[in-house]
Amino acid sequence: MIWVVAALLFWAGAWWLNAWLAGSNMAATRAVKLAVPVIFGVTILVVWEALVRGLQVPGVILPPPTVIGAKFAASLAILWEDFVQTFMKGALTGFIIGCGAAVGTAIAIDRSPFLQRGLLPVGNFIAALPIIGTAPILVMWFGFDWQSKAAVVVVMVFFPMLVNTVQGLASSEVMQRDLMKTYSASYWQTLFKLRLPAAMPFIFNGLKISTTLALIGAIVAEFFGSPIRGMGFRISTEVGRLGLDMVWAEITVAAIAGSAFYGTVALIEKGVTFWHPSQRS
Amino acid sequence: MKSLVPILTVVAAIMVLWYGAAVWMNSQWTLDQAARAGTEPSFSFIVADTMAQDRPKLPAPHQVISELYDTVIDKKITSKRSLVFHAWITLSATLLGFVFGTFAGILLAVGIVHNRAMDMSVMPWAIASQTIPILAIAPMIIVVMNSMGIQGLVPKAFISAYLSFFPVVVGMVKGLRSPGAMQLDLMRTYHASQPETFWKLRLPASMPYLFTSLKVGIAASLVGAIVGELPTGAVRGLGARMLSGSYYGQTIQIWSALIMAAVLAASLVAIVGIIQRITLKRMGLAQ
């Protein structure tokens, strides 16, 4: 009982602190902007811990954060192995192949308006489909190891990336293209000096969408068969053994990997598209 | 209309590629069979055989279509072998989850727009959560709810709701904030209360944003429901069809479930699109 009361008190206190911080005249400063969400996150962890202990929720339903943290620290070797298998081999390989192929295809079809008009609606249609359903088929074709996961990722990221790149290549203005023509620039010069740089904001938008898709694809594809390592494999087997602390530890890894991947792409974007209005502050 | 010919050309090209790939990928099996029987198959025999295997590596389009016809039209829809039955199981979880996720998302967005503390504490997490592969927790939700005695529709709907929740929150916050300072000032000169500003200005202004996120949300809901059917080894639903197909090597069954899921996704997004067009037109917001 004391835990539950403590949880409620802590919640109320943190809420009051956040409300005060948000209402104070320091609310616009960087430190407060960072502090408020951190306080909120810590509050959730503390309340979670206290409620699980206070209401004596069994560990097979929801383990408290401290237990998850201990499990995380104790099984770093396994987590790292799974991370390498799923992220480095599966997701990253697929991401690079898929995005590369999509950009290549976009440049190829860019020269033919006929293909563009035909491929874009089809690509848009396919991008909205539950492509994750191709996972069992690809696992059958490419075997259980990371190659099949990479293949799922390739299929998942290809169409969003294609649609974005084609849009981006069309985004340079007539005036600018005319200028290139007056310079008597060749097709490739125009492509590399004007149209690809102009397409970068769109390409990075596609890349950012693809980071999340890549991780999801690699993890879910492992539910359909995998060697005895990998994040998706570990999640599905540990769930079966009711080892929920390990499942949460894997989810923590997935969350960290996902946001770090997205963050890296966003950082590169900042460097590449420094000229774009959305990057100027 | 102008793009109809190019689209058909592309679709036709995909069909041709598909048939070509089917011959190429399935021929290995035919050749093995022939080698075992000690015969030398002719080219036309190989092609004919690759079109009609029981468990092809890549089923030809007409095999998938005939399986679809068989399981959608020929079987009674109450039968466990009918694909309509399985699609309905998945669809009901999708819709239930989508409705709940959307409502919860809109409520949270309203809270975020009106409460500064909530905005500053929740919003960064809502945005960050979109970079996290949320789908990974699907198996856990199913098993945990199962151990609490909740089975069937609700756990899947829960995953669907969870997946459609965040896109709606982010889109709706953007939408509710979309009225400019001028418009808000005008409401103030009318002496409008906060609820009045909300119902008469913010909510109508947010509609285009809401519909954009609804389209993302309903597609995510369907994926959630399908993945939610995997871990229990569930016997019903499109995800279960795919899983059992992959266990028993029934490739035609996987492909037909996949096509069914695709049709479902496309029609759900299209329905939201139609509602969007009608609503925005009546509100005078459509271009």
pLDDT (tens digit per residue) in B170-227: 889 888 988 888 888 999 999 999 889 999 888 888 888 898 889 888 988 888 888 8
CA dihedral B163, B169, B171, B173 (to 10 degrees): -170
CB nearest B7 (choices: A118, A235, A240):
A118
The structure tokens listed for A189 are 């010069």
What's the mean pLDDT in B80-100?
A: 87
CA distance B94 to A48: 28
Please name the residues between 37 and 66 in chain B that touch chain A, using a CB distance below 8 Å: 57
Residue type, B273: G
Say if residue B71's pLDDT is above 90: no
Say if residue B286's pLDDT is above 70: no
Structure confidence by residue, pLDDT tens digits, B235-266:
778 888 888 877 787 888 888 888 888 888 88
In terms of Cα–Cα distance, which of B120, B105, B135 is closest to B231? B135
Structure confidence by residue, pLDDT tens digits, A19-33:
888 877 777 778 888
Residue A243: closest C-alpha in chain B? B140
User: Please, are residues A114 and A121 in contact by the beta-carbon 8 Å criterion?
Assistant: no
User: Please, are residues B58 and B26 in contact by the beta-carbon 8 Å criterion?
Assistant: yes
Helix B251-283 with B203-228: angle, nearest 10 deg: 170
Three-state DSSP at A133 gives helix
CA distance B87 to A274: 47
Q: How distant is the Cα of B242 from the closest Cα of chain A, in angstroms?
A: 7
CA distance A155 to A94: 8
Residue A183's pLDDT band (cuts 50, 70, 90): very high
Report the pLDDT value the prediction gives residue A184, as an integer from 0 to 100.
92
Structure confidence by residue, pLDDT tens digits, B196-207:
999 988 888 888
What's the mean pLDDT in A156-168?
A: 88
Structure confidence by residue, pLDDT tens digits, B116-169:
888 888 888 887 877 777 777 888 888 788 777 777 788 888 888 988 888 899
User: Please, are residues B176 and B113 in contact by the beta-carbon 8 Å criterion?
Assistant: yes
Would you mind telling me the total number of residues written for chain B in this entry?
Answer: 287
Report the pLDDT value the prediction gives residue B287, as an integer from 0 to 100.
56
Residue A78: half-sphere exposure toward Cβ, Cα within 13 Å: 17
CA distance B133 to B237: 23
Say if residue A102's pLDDT is above 70: yes
Helix B116-128 with A2-23: angle, nearest 10 deg: 100
CA distance B5 to A272: 38
CA distance A71 to A65: 10
Dump the DSSP string for A48-105: HHHHHHHTT--TTT---HHHHHHHHHHTHHHHHHHHIIIIIIIIIHHHHHHHHHHHHH
Beta-carbon count within 10 A of B37 CB: 9
Report the pLDDT value the prediction gives residue B8, as an integer from 0 to 100.
86
Say if residue A85's pLDDT is above 80: yes
What are the angstrom distances between the C-alpha of A244 and each of A65, A235, A249?
Answer: 11, 9, 8
Given CB atoms, is B105 within the 8 Å cutoff of chain A?
no
Asked whether the beta carbons of residue B251 and residue A117 sit closer than 8 angstroms, the reply is no
User: Please, are residues A48 and A65 in contact by the beta-carbon 8 Å criterion?
Assistant: yes
Note the helical H segments in chain A.
2-23, 30-54, 65-74, 76-83, 93-110, 113-127, 135-142, 146-169, 174-182, 187-190, 196-222, 231-240, 244-272
Q: Which residue has the higher pLDDT, B287 or B267?
A: B267
What's the mean pLDDT in A171-181?
A: 88
Residue B36's pLDDT band (cuts 50, 70, 90): confident
Q: Which has the minimum average pLDDT: A195-199, B10-14, B91-95?
A: B10-14
Q: Residue A187 class from Cβ within 10 Å (0-12 exposed, 13-18 middle, 19+ buried)?
A: exposed
> Rounded to two decimals, what is the model's pTM?
0.83
User: Please, are residues B151 and B231 in contact by the beta-carbon 8 Å criterion?
Assistant: no
Q: For the domain A72-279, what is the CATH code?
A: 1.10.3720.10
* φ/ψ bin of A227: left (φ > 0), alpha (ψ from -120 to 50), beta (otherwise): beta
Per-residue DSSP letter, B236: S
Q: Which candidate in B132, B150, B223 is best for mutational testing of the A interface (most A CBs within 10 A)? A: B132
User: Please, are residues A87 and A257 in contact by the beta-carbon 8 Å criterion?
Assistant: yes
CA distance B220 to B224: 6
Q: How distant is the Cα of A39 from the closest Cα of chain B, in angstroms?
A: 8
Report the pLDDT value the prediction gives residue B275, as an integer from 0 to 100.
92
Q: How distant is the Cα of A74 from the closest Cα of chain B, in angstroms?
A: 21
The whole-chain average pLDDT of chain B stands at 83
Return the exposure string of A54-85: e unless at least 16 CB atoms fall within 10 Å of the residue's CB, then b: beeeeeeebbbbebbbebbeebeeebebbbeb
Report the pLDDT value the prediction gives residue A280, as an integer from 0 to 100.
67
In terms of Cα–Cα distance, which of B94, B237, B218, B118 is closest to B173? B118
What's the mean pLDDT in A174-193?
A: 90
Residue type, B281: K
CA distance A153 to A221: 9
Q: How distant is the Cα of B174 from the closest Cα of chain A, in angstroms?
A: 16
ipTM of the predicted structure? 0.78
Residue B123: closest C-alpha in chain A? A37
Report the pLDDT value the prediction gives residue B191, as an integer from 0 to 100.
92
Say if residue B11's pLDDT is above 70: yes
Where exactly are the structural domains of chain A? 2-57, 72-279
Say if residue A96's pLDDT is above 60: yes
When computed from its CA atoms, the radius of gyration of chain A, rounded to whole angstroms, is 24
Say if residue A93's pLDDT is above 90: yes
Structure confidence by residue, pLDDT tens digits, A165-174:
988 888 888 8
Q: Which residue has the tokens 């088929």?
A: A137
Work out how many CB contacts closer than 8 A connect A with B.
170
CA distance B121 to A11: 13
Say if residue A200's pLDDT is above 60: yes
Report the pLDDT value the prediction gives residue B212, as an integer from 0 to 100.
86
When computed from its CA atoms, the radius of gyration of chain B, rounded to whole angstroms, is 25
Instruction: Name B170's Cβ contacts closer than 8 Å, sequence gap at least 6.
Output: B126, B127, B130, B213
In terms of Cα–Cα distance, which of B178, B128, B125 is closest to A208? B128
Q: Residue B38 class from Cβ within 10 Å (0-12 exposed, 13-18 middle, 19+ buried)?
A: exposed
Asked whether the beta carbons of residue B261 and residue A212 sit closer than 8 angstroms, the reply is no
Report the pLDDT value the prediction gives residue A109, as an integer from 0 to 100.
85
Alpha carbon A247 to its chain's center = 19
